[in-house]
Amino acid sequence: MQDVFQYVDSHRDEMLSDLFTLVRQPGISTQGTGVVETAQMLVELMRRIGIETTVYETAGFPIIYGELKSPGATKTLLAYGHYDVQPPEPLELWNTPPFEPTIKDGRIWGRGTADNKGQLLAHIFAAKAFLQTRGAPPLNLKFLFEGEEEMNSPSLWPFVESHKGLLKTDAALTADGPSHPSGRQLINCGVKGMCYVEIKAKGANRDLHSMRGPMVYNPAWKLVHALATLKNRDEKILIQGFYDDVQPPTEAELAAVDAIPYNAEAIKRDLDVDELIGGDGSYYRNFVFGNSCNLAGLTSGYQGQGMKTVLPSRASCKIDFRLVPKQRPEEIVEKLRAHLEAGGFGDLEVEYLGGFYPSRTPVDHPYVQGVVRATRFVTGKEPVLSPNMAGSGPDYLFTGLLGLPSVWMPLSPHDSNNHAPNENIYLEGYFEGIKISAAIMEETAK
Ligand SMILES: [Zn+2]
C-alpha cells in the first residue's frame, strides 16, 4: 500500500482544496438551499477524477451514482455517503464562519467537514490514489451519494428498490458519524431501528375553566395514565409482544461489546447523572442491544409564567422506540395500538411519524474482519468493533434490500460536533481516512 499512501501524502494540498470547495457550497436539504449546486460540484469532481458518474433525479434531490471498473477484478464495493448538510444555526455559536473552512488547532472547521463531505471524499480520493498509482483500484467501485440524508433519506429506499441490479455488489461501506472517545477507529456493523409515534388525547371541544375538573375528564391525565402502562420503573417495556422478535446477541457480538473500552464514572460526570440504566457495567450492552421507549416530548395545558387554572382540551406526546434486529417499526406501532386498546385507552390517537429498520452484519463476517485488518494496518491500533451503533440509519437498504454485508466506519472525531456549531474533522484524520478507505478496498478485493 506504500505507493497509494505516498500518493495521498504528496497530494494533500489538492485533496484539501477540493474539500474546501465543497464545504464553501452550502447544500442544506431541510431548507432546500444549494443542494443541487452541491450535487453538480461533486459530480464535476468525480468526473475529473475519472469516475463514470450519472445523476438520477428523484422526487427530492438528486442521487449521484458513480462507477469505476477494475479490469479483471471479481469483487465490487459499494460506497455510500451524503452531500447535504444540516443548517448552520445558531450562527453566533460558531468560532469560525460555517461555510468558510478553516484549519485551526489541528482540525478543519466548517459545516460538512465531518458530516459528511469530508468523510465521503475518503472513498473518492482512495479511488483517485489507486488510479494515479496503479491505473485502477484493486476491485470495482460503485458510489452512491444522496442529498437527502439530513431529512431522513425519503428518496433513497425507492431508488435502491428500483435499482437493485445496478447496486449489486459484494459489500457496502459508509464513512459517517463520530468515532469512539478512545480515539481508536470505530467500526459499526449496523444500526438500531426506530419507530417514531405521536400519541394524542382529546378532551372537551375547547379548553375549560378548571372548576369543571370534577365533572369533565382531563386528556392530560388520560395520556399520563396511558403512558404509565408502556414501561415500568425497571425500564422494561410492557407493550404486549414488544420483545417477541428480538434476536438474541451471538457469542461473538457479546464478546465484541464487552471488549469496548469505557469509563462509566467519566460518562456520569460528563452528563452529571448519579446512575446509568442497568448499572455501570451495562452501558455498552444497552448501547448496542438495548431497546428504548423514549418520551421525546410531552405537551398539554398551560406552561407559561404564573398560574392559569385551565382544563386543557388536548394533550399529546412524541415517543421514539429504538429497535434491534429483527423488530419492525410498523409492527411495533400495531402492538402499541393493541396495547392501548386493551388497556382502555382505545380513544387515544396513535400516529406513526416514521422509522428505520434495524440492521446488523455479523461481527465475524469475512468482510468485517477485512475492514478490521485494514484499519489496524493503517492506524497501528486495534479498532473498536461494535455490532451496531446506538443510533439509526438506512443500513437496512444494504443488508436487507441488497443482501450485502455492510459497515459504518466514522472517520471524524468523537467531538466532531455533527449537526451542531463548530463541526470539525482532524486534519490528519482526514488524510488517514483516505488511507483507511484505500486499505479496505485492498482487503475487500482479496
Ligand atoms: Zn448528519
Phi-psi region of 30 (alpha: psi -120 to 50; beta: other; left: phi over 0): alpha
Q: Looking at the structure, do residues 182 and 321 belong to the same domain, yes or no? A: no
Q: Looking at the structure, do residues 182 and 132 belong to the same domain, yes or no? A: yes
Going by C-alpha positions, the residue among 93, 101, 97, 140 that lies closest to residue 117 is 101
Instruction: Report CA(417)–ligand 1 centroid distance (Å).
Output: 10
Instruction: Report CA(433)–ligand 1 centroid distance (Å).
Output: 18
Q: Looking at the structure, do residues 415 and 339 belong to the same domain, yes or no? A: no
Q: Looking at the structure, do residues 132 and 230 belong to the same domain, yes or no? A: no
Q: What is the pLDDT of residue 7?
A: 98
Q: Looking at the structure, do residues 133 and 215 belong to the same domain, yes or no? A: no
Residue 177: pLDDT above 90? Answer: no
Quick check: is 102 in a domain?
A: yes
Instruction: Report CA(172)–ligand 1 centroid distance (Å).
Output: 19
Instruction: Report CA(148)–ligand 1 centroid distance (Å).
Output: 10
Q: What is the pLDDT of residues 238-284, one digit of tens each?
A: 999 999 999 999 999 999 999 999 999 999 999 999 999 999 999 99
Set of cell numbers at residue 395: 443500513
Quick check: is 253 in a domain?
A: no
Instruction: Report CA(413)–ligand 1 centroid distance (Å).
Output: 14
Instruction: Report CA(56)–ligand 1 centroid distance (Å).
Output: 22
| Side-chain-facing half-sphere of 366: CA atoms under 13 Å | 6
Quick check: is 372 in a domain?
A: yes
Q: Looking at the structure, do residues 324 and 242 belong to the same domain, yes or no? A: yes
Instruction: Report CA(394)–ligand 1 centroid distance (Å).
Output: 12
Cβ-based burial of 53 (10 A; exposed 0-12, middle 13-18, buried ≥19): buried
Q: Looking at the structure, do residues 155 and 8 belong to the same domain, yes or no? A: yes
Instruction: Report CA(87)–ligand 1 centroid distance (Å).
Output: 10
What total of structural domains would you count in the chain?
Answer: 2
Average pLDDT for 381-401: 95
Q: Looking at the structure, do residues 30 and 96 belong to the same domain, yes or no? A: yes
Average pLDDT for 208-220: 98
pLDDT > 70 fraction of the chain, expressed in percent and rounded? 100
Instruction: Report CA(149)–ligand 1 centroid distance (Å).
Output: 7
Quick check: is 28 in a domain?
A: yes
Instruction: Report CA(291)–ligand 1 centroid distance (Å).
Output: 22
- Say which CATH number the domain at 187 has: 3.40.630.10
Instruction: Report CA(154)–ligand 1 centroid distance (Å).
Output: 14
Residue 152: band (very low, low, confident or very high) from pLDDT cuts 50, 70, 90: confident
Provide the 8-state DSSP code for 237.
B
Of 324, 339, 356, the position where a domain reaches its end is 356
107-109 β-sheet, strand order:
102-104, 107-109, 424-426
Instruction: Report CA(108)–ligand 1 centroid distance (Å).
Output: 17
Quick check: is 315 in a domain?
A: yes
Residue 303: pLDDT above 90? Answer: yes
Q: Looking at the structure, do residues 102 and 228 belong to the same domain, yes or no? A: no
Instruction: Report CA(419)–ligand 1 centroid distance (Å).
Output: 6
Instruction: Report CA(177)–ligand 1 centroid distance (Å).
Output: 7
Q: Looking at the structure, do residues 180 and 128 belong to the same domain, yes or no? A: yes
Average pLDDT for 323-350: 98
Quick check: is 300 in a domain?
A: yes
Phi-psi region of 346 (alpha: psi -120 to 50; beta: other; left: phi over 0): alpha
Location of C-alpha cell 475492514: 371
Of 356, 377, 400, the position where a domain reaches its end is 356
Residue 178: pLDDT above 90? Answer: no
Report the chain's mean pLDDT, rounded to a whole number: 96
Residue 268 CB neighbour total at 10 angstroms: 15
Of 307, 324, 356, the position where a domain reaches its end is 356
Rounded to 5 degrees, φ, ψ at 49 are -75, -25
Quick check: is 282 in a domain?
A: no
Instruction: Report CA(234)–ligand 1 centroid distance (Å).
Output: 32
Cβ-based burial of 244 (10 A; exposed 0-12, middle 13-18, buried ≥19): exposed
**Residue 313, helix vs strand vs coil:** coil
**Residue 210, helix vs strand vs coil:** helix
- Say which CATH number the domain at 241 has: 3.30.70.360
Provide the 8-state DSSP code for 247.
P
Average pLDDT for 35-48: 98
Q: What is the pLDDT of residue 57?
A: 97
CA distances from 306 to 186, 302, 303, 309 (A): 49, 10, 9, 10
Q: Looking at the structure, do residues 215 and 86 belong to the same domain, yes or no? A: no
Q: What is the pLDDT of residues 21-34, one digit of tens each?
A: 999 999 999 999 99
| Side-chain-facing half-sphere of 192: CA atoms under 13 Å | 19
Q: What is the pLDDT of residue 329?
A: 97
Instruction: Report CA(360)–ligand 1 centroid distance (Å).
Output: 20
* Domain membership of residue 140 as a residue range: 2-191+358-445
Residue 285: pLDDT above 90? Answer: yes
**Distance in angstroms (rounded) separating the CA atoms of residues 320 and 333:** 11
Q: What is the pLDDT of residues 410-445, one digit of tens each?
A: 999 999 999 999 999 999 999 999 999 999 999 999
Quick check: is 388 in a domain?
A: yes
Q: Looking at the structure, do residues 101 and 163 belong to the same domain, yes or no? A: yes
